[in-house]
């Protein structure tokens, strides 16, 4: 690889490589935010050129540990213990002495590429700062180096990227820019904090491939922060599983992944949809039987629907001649990446937009061509559960009022009846009666989403549209919500339209699938057909992007030299 | 400078011109419908001692005997040619009277604005880099403290301290450099407090953004981080605030000029109000409208230059989205 060779010769590593000693060692690390202890007695070691994944759910302290290593903790945080990097204690190092390490020796790839570059400065201006770390201060050398790096990370038109502002590039391109800027000064360690969680699956895979390749080519150690066990298993040599700020289990990826010993790691393993495609087979069965029934009219029929928007004076066909039907009591999944038209499709289905062409019927009633007023009647049978339970519930309302609102709105039942129905809906979604007086603030993410489901359920609709209902939630919470949804379907015979970009999740709970791309349905079929026998290359690409921990399984077969992870006496803290 | 920006600037300029004209008409109408007609209240006031002959002369010269609409029309036509009429008191052209005092006020207001900006940026910088425990609390109290102290109190304290106690300037020589400086400080403090308040809030917000952490992770020094990364995005809301405070600058200069005994637009207004010199008042109010509209025009024109994300009305984005090897575009 020519650009890489040039990079190496132009900026040779100056630091002595004591290859045997770990590059990064963390021992007895405690981090406090005020009086709150968020990290407890954490220890691990990362060898040179190796990769280590810190894995855990929100609140597990994984990002805090990453920020401690980078010394980017907010002022209110206090860290104690030992963090040694390349033989140097960095926790007590004065800021003045640590700053030269930043960027130069320790690179950082952040979580959300859309927010990681200064929006009012060009990418070139920010890239020059990174080039200055590589001692390329002369503008022409620096520019050349940046353009080479951009090409190296797979950006098509480096010059144009250099001149662009961040908002002019897509998320995938921005993450490539950020990775390029992080590796440009040839650091010894790259800290990547959920580098792909804000990206589409196919892009996620490409970015992870890029990170792995650079790590290997440039001999960089990688500290990968992730919530996804499957990603960790594919990309890291060793894994540290965290919960509530403490290490639950640590070891080589092969060991942790193949035979987890701690309860938490086992549960985590069981909750990752990609690793357990048939977990809910029993709950899905009623739907499978319904699907097989012949001669039954479908609950939802969407035929030849087209919707066009005008964007910047150009016509954009968001939904192009889309047709599908959903049998009563089954789940139909709309799968696609951002911009594929799945959100517009459900907006049309809900009657929030009117299509230019085509018709949609739900439970025998035509949705298309209705006035706002006559939509009211249809909405009783057609409810939506929104993506993000952290923003979809009015924070000043109590749970009781939130769930009762649809009844009030439609004027259904007496006061006593309404109270009964609200309680029944809460029981259905598994929320205790003691929560009725709470406000969303006092609920967890999973509880909030249950409230949102109860709210949809209280009208006893036939159809519930689920717009990425678990994408804002942790995997273990996601598993709970999926179980609730499937139980409700089995019990009440609900029909779901499930929108998701997560194919593994779709496989767990859907009966039929439409794969969307650029506003069209490229492939349609039952879950078995799509997942076991995909016909379209795009579907195949999507399926291959699902992280499955495949690499970890290969690793188990060819044992590697001892991975320098010291568990450091971390037993289970239950 | 691309054509989209020029189209946008042209539209904004035209809008500004319309607003200025409307403001002029509005002032004229308000002055006309105010209780008390100028002839009886000013000219026939025995204190002023005009003879009937003189009154007739003034009425004819000012055109006060013509219908209101006609007066408005000719006054508007004169306004457009830069003729603001004659003062009722001194019979001198209002344009000349304003031209005499305008430079002094402009010097005061401009130096006050510059001082206010400097002070606000320094205070805001301090809140970002000083250790939490020591300096920050004091600096964060600055805006609230100085917003609540009236302008004239600051002026009196400064005159007392630096004029009488330290003898830096002679209070009876209001045009000396020191006197101008302290007058400007008096005017600047409340305005800088407003700017600092918005700037600090904006800095706090931006400092919490990921891109600042990433830039820090790139090893930037605090001062560089502040000037290169934080200041520009944080100053976007400040641009709006500055445009709004220009009005305050005018009002404040009235008080400050009185306290420091300076001549300027403020003292002119004060005199004209007490003598009900309507042409002068009309001119000064229109001038204030012009200044205010211009300040907002400048803010509107600067904003798209500072923030590339601003979409100009009706204009296509200057760059097309670059080709996209990584797949999807943001929604």
Residue pointed to by tokens 């998701």? A500
CB atoms under 10 Å from CB of B30, counted, come to 11
Instruction: Give mean pLDDT, residues A146-174.
Output: 89
CB contact under 8 A, A129 and B215: yes
Average pLDDT, chain A: 85
- The answer to whether residues A531 and A567 belong to one domain is no
Distance of alpha carbon A448 from alpha carbon A446, whole angstroms: 5
Q: Is B114 a residue whose pLDDT tops 90? A: yes
Closest CA of chain B from A321, distance in Å: 21
Distance of alpha carbon B193 from alpha carbon B175, whole angstroms: 26
Phi and psi angles of residue A279, each rounded to the nearest 5 degrees, phi first: -60, -40
pLDDT in tens, A535-565: 999 999 888 888 876 655 444 433 333 333 3
Q: Is A424 a residue whose pLDDT tops 50? A: yes
- The answer to whether residues B51 and B107 belong to one domain is no
CB contact under 8 A, B217 and A108: yes
Distance of alpha carbon A222 from alpha carbon A229, whole angstroms: 16
The least confident of A104-108, A470-474, A511-515, B47-51 is: B47-51
pLDDT at B179: 82
Token pair recorded at residue A396: 């000043």
Phi-psi region of B248 (alpha: psi -120 to 50; beta: other; left: phi over 0): alpha
Closest C-alpha among A72, A480, A507 to residue A333 = A507
Closest CA of chain B from A214, distance in Å: 17
Distance of alpha carbon A551 from alpha carbon A557, whole angstroms: 10
Residue B319: inside a domain, yes or no? no
pLDDT in tens, A389-398: 888 889 899 9
Domain end: A164, A187, A210, which one? Answer: A187
B326 touching chain A per CB within 8 A? yes
pLDDT in tens, A16-61: 445 578 899 999 999 998 888 899 999 999 999 999 999 988 888 8
8-state DSSP, A430: T
B144 touching chain A per CB within 8 A? no
Q: Is B329 a residue whose pLDDT tops 80? A: no
C-alpha Rg value of chain A to the nearest Å: 26
pLDDT at B41: 64
Domain end: B80, B105, B121, which one? Answer: B80
Closest CA of chain A from B59, distance in Å: 59
Distance of alpha carbon A53 from alpha carbon A239, whole angstroms: 5
Q: Please spell the DSSP secondary structure of A132-145, one letter per residue.
A: HHTT--SHHHHHHH
Contacts of A475 (CB under 8 A, 6+ apart): A57, A227, A228, A229, A268, A271, A272, A273
CB atoms under 10 Å from CB of A197, counted, come to 15
Which secondary-structure segment (H or E) carries A75? none
How confident is residue A418, by pLDDT bands cut at 50, 70 and 90? very high
- The answer to whether residues A531 and A562 belong to one domain is no
8-state DSSP, A242: E
- The answer to whether residues A348 and A436 belong to one domain is no
- The answer to whether residues A88 and A123 belong to one domain is no
Q: How far is CA B147 from CA B150, B154, B190, B195, in A?
A: 8, 11, 5, 10
More confident residue, B57 or A536: A536
Total structural domains within chain B: 2
- The answer to whether residues B213 and B300 belong to one domain is yes
Closest C-alpha among B198, B230, B217 to residue B129 = B230
Average pLDDT, chain B: 80
Nearest CA in chain A to B316: A312
Token pair recorded at residue B31: 């002055």
Q: Is B53 a residue whose pLDDT tops 50? A: yes
User: Which residues constitute the domain of residue A419?
Assistant: 391-460
The strand pair at A300-311 and A357-362 is best described as antiparallel
Closest CA of chain A from B186, distance in Å: 34
CB B62 within 8 A of CB B320: no
More confident residue, A472 or A572: A472
Contacts 24+ apart (CB under 8 A), A135-138: A135/A11, A136/A11
Instruction: Give mean pLDDT, residues B196-219.
Output: 88
- The answer to whether residues B47 and B174 belong to one domain is no
Residue B324: inside a domain, yes or no? no
For chain B, what percent of residues have pLDDT higher than 90?
A: 8
Residue B331: inside a domain, yes or no? no
Contacts of B270 (CB under 8 A, 6+ apart): B254, B258
pLDDT at A335: 92
C-alpha Rg value of chain B to the nearest Å: 25
Count chain A–chain B contacts defined by CB atoms under 8 A: 135
- The answer to whether residues A530 and A557 belong to one domain is no
- The answer to whether residues A58 and A177 belong to one domain is no
Residue B234: inside a domain, yes or no? yes
List chain B residues with CB under 8 Å of A338.
328-331
Q: Please spell the DSSP secondary structure of B259-281, one letter per residue.
A: HHT--SHHHHHHHHHHHT-HHHH
- Rounded to the nearest 10 degrees, the angle between the axes of helix A171-183 and helix A201-217 is 10
Residue B86: inside a domain, yes or no? no
The least confident of A317-321, A352-356, A361-365, B39-43 is: B39-43
pLDDT at B151: 78
Among the partner-chain residues B211, B213, B327, the one whose CB lies closest to the CB of A172 is B327
User: Which residues constitute the domain of residue B51?
Assistant: 3-80
Residue A212: inside a domain, yes or no? no
Closest C-alpha among A206, A211, A256 to residue A229 = A256
pLDDT in tens, A204-250: 888 899 899 989 888 999 999 998 888 888 889 999 999 999 999 99
pLDDT in tens, B147-165: 888 878 888 888 888 877 7
How confident is residue B309, by pLDDT bands cut at 50, 70 and 90? confident
CB A172 within 8 A of CB A24: no
Token pair recorded at residue B103: 């430079």
Residue A356 CB-density burial (10 A; 0-12 exposed, 13-18 middle, 19+ buried): exposed
- The answer to whether residues A413 and A376 belong to one domain is no
- The answer to whether residues B130 and B263 belong to one domain is yes
pLDDT at A574: 28
Residue pointed to by tokens 């600047």? B188
Domain with residue A336: its CATH number is 3.40.50.300
Residue A322: inside a domain, yes or no? yes
Q: How far apart are the first and last CA of chain A?
A: 49
- The answer to whether residues A282 and A375 belong to one domain is yes
B210 touching chain A per CB within 8 A? yes
- The answer to whether residues A239 and A128 belong to one domain is no
Instruction: Give mean pLDDT, residues A128-152.
Output: 86
- The answer to whether residues A290 and A363 belong to one domain is yes
Domain with residue A441: its CATH number is 1.20.1580.10
ipTM of the shown complex: 0.71
Token pair recorded at residue A516: 């969307």
Handedness of CA A223, A227, A233, A235 (dihedral sign): negative
List chain A residues with CB under 8 Å of B319.
164-165, 168
pLDDT at A410: 85
Token pair recorded at residue A470: 């678990």
**Cα angle B2-A116-A192, degrees, rounded to a multiple of 5:** 145
Nearest CA in chain A to B232: A120
- The answer to whether residues B103 and B220 belong to one domain is yes
Distance of alpha carbon B207 from alpha carbon A65, whole angstroms: 20
B219 touching chain A per CB within 8 A? yes
Query: Does residue A186 sit in helix, strand or coil?
Result: coil
- The answer to whether residues B118 and B251 belong to one domain is yes
Q: Is A423 a residue whose pLDDT tops 70? A: yes
Q: How far is CA A258 from CA A252, A254, A267, A556, B266, in A?
A: 10, 6, 13, 8, 82
pLDDT in tens, B64-111: 777 777 888 887 888 888 787 788 778 888 888 888 888 888 888 999
List chain B residues with CB under 8 Å of A176.
326
Its pTM stands at 0.76
Among the partner-chain residues B132, B218, B323, the one whose CB lies closest to the CB of A130 is B218
Total structural domains within chain A: 4
The least confident of A109-113, A473-477, A529-533, B170-174 is: B170-174
């Amino acid at each position: 690889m020519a650009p890489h060779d040039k990079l190496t010769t132009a900026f040779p590593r100056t630091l002595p490589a004591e290859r045997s000693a770990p590059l990064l060692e963390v021992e007895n690390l405690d981090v406090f935010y005020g009086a709150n202890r968020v990290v407890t007695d954490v220890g691990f070691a990362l060898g040179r050129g190796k990769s280590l994944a810190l894995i855990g759910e929100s609140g597990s302290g994984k990002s805090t540990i990453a920020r401690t290593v980078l010394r980017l903790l907010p002022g209110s945080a206090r860290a104690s213990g030992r963090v040694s990097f390349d033989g140097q204690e960095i926790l007590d190092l004065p800021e003045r002495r640590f700053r030269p390490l930043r960027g130069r020796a320790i690179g950082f790839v952040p979580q959300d590429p859309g927010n990681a570059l200064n929006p009012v400065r060009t990418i070139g201006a920010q890239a020059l700062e990174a080039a200055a770390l590589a001692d390329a201060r002369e503008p022409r050398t620096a520019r050349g180096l940046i353009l080479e790096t951009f090409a190296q990370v797979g950006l098509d038109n480096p010059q144009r990227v250099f001149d662009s502002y961040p908002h002019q590039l897509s998320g995938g391109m921005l993450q490539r820019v950020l990775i390029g800027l992080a590796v440009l000064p040839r650091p010894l360690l790259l800290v990547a904090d959920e580098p792909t969680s804000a990206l589409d699956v196919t892009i996620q895979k490409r970015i992870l491939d890029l990170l792995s390749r650079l790590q290997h080519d440039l001999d960089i150690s990688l500290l990968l922060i992730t919530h996804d066990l499957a990603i960790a298993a594919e990309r890291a040599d060793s894994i540290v599983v965290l919960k509530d700020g403490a290490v639950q289990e640590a070891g080589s990826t092969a060991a942790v992944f193949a035979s987890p010993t701690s309860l938490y790691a086992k549960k985590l393993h069981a909750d990752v949809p990609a690793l357990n495609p048939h977990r809910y087979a029993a709950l899905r069965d009623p739907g499978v039987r319904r699907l097989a029934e012949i001669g039954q009219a479908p609950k939802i029929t969407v035929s030849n629907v087209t919707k066009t928007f005008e964007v910047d004076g150009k016509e954009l066909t968001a939904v192009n001649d889309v047709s599908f039907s959903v049998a009563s009591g089954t789940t139909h999944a709309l799968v696609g990446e951002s911009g594929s038209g799945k959100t517009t499709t459900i907006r049309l289905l809900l009657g929030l937009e009117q299509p230019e062409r085509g018709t949609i019927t739900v439970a025998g009633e035509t949705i298309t061509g209705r006035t706002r007023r006559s939509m009211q009647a249809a909405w009783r049978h057609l409810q939506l559960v929104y993506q993000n339970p952290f923003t979809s519930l009015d924070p000043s309302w109590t749970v009781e009022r939130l769930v009762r609102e649809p009844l009030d709105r439609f004027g259904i039942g007496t006061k006593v009846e309404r109270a009964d129905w609200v309680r029944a809906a809460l029981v259905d979604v598994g929320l205790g009666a003691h929560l009725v007086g709470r406000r969303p603030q006092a609920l967890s993410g999973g509880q909030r989403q249950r409230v949102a489901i109860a709210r949809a359920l209280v009208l006893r609709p036939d159809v519930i549209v689920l717009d990425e209902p678990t994408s804002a939630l942790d995997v273990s919470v996601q598993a709970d919500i999926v179980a609730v949804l499937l139980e409700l379907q089995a019990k009440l015979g609900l029909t779901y339209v499930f929108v998701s970009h997560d194919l593994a999740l779709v496989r767990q709970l859907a009966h039929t699938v439409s794969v969307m791309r650029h506003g069209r349905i490229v492939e349609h079929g039952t879950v078995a057909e799509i997942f076991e026998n995909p016909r379209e290359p795009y579907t195949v690409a999507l399926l291959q992007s699902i992280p499955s921990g495949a690499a970890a399984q290969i690793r188990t077969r060819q044992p590697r030299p001892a991975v320098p992870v010291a568990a450091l006496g971390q037993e289970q803290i239950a | 400078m691309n054509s989209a920006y020029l189209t946008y600037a042209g539209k904004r300029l035209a809008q500004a011109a319309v607003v200025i004209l409307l403001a002029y008409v509005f002032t004229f109408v308000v002055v006309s419908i105010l209780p008390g007609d100028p002839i009886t209240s000013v000219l026939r006031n025995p204190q002023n001692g005009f003879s009937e002959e003189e009154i007739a002369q003034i009425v004819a010269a000012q055109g006060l005997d013509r219908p209101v609409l006609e007066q408005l029309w000719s006054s508007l036509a004169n306004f457009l040619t830069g003729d603001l009429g004659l003062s009722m008191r001194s019979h001198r052209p209002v344009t000349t009277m304003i031209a005499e005092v305008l430079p002094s006020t402009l010097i005061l207001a401009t130096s006050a604005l510059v001082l206010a900006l400097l002070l606000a940026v320094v205070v805001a910088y301090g809140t970002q880099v000083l250790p939490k425990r020591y300096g920050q609390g004091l600096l964060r109290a600055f805006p609230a403290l100085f917003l609540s102290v009236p302008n004239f109190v600051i002026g009196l304290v400064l005159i007392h301290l630096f004029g009488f106690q330290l003898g830096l300037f002679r209070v009876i020589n209001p045009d000396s450099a020191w006197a101008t400086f302290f007058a400007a400080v008096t005017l600047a403090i409340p305005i800088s407090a407003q700017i600092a308040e918005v700037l600090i809030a904006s800095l706090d917000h931006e400092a919490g953004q990921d891109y600042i952490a990433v830039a820090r992770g790139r090893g930037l020094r605090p001062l560089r981080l502040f000037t290169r990364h934080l200041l520009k995005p944080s100053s976007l809301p400040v641009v709006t605030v500055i445009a709004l405070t220009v009005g305050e600058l005018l009002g404040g200069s009235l008080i400050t000029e009185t306290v420091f005994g300076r001549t300027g637009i403020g003292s002119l207004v004060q005199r004209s109000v007490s003598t009900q010199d309507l042409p002068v008042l009309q001119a000064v109010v229109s001038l204030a409208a012009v200044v205010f509209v211009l300040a907002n025009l400048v803010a509107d024109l600067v904003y798209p230059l500072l923030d590339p994300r601003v979409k100009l009305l009706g204009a296509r984005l200057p760059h097309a989205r670059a080709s996209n090897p990584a797949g999807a575009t943001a929604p």
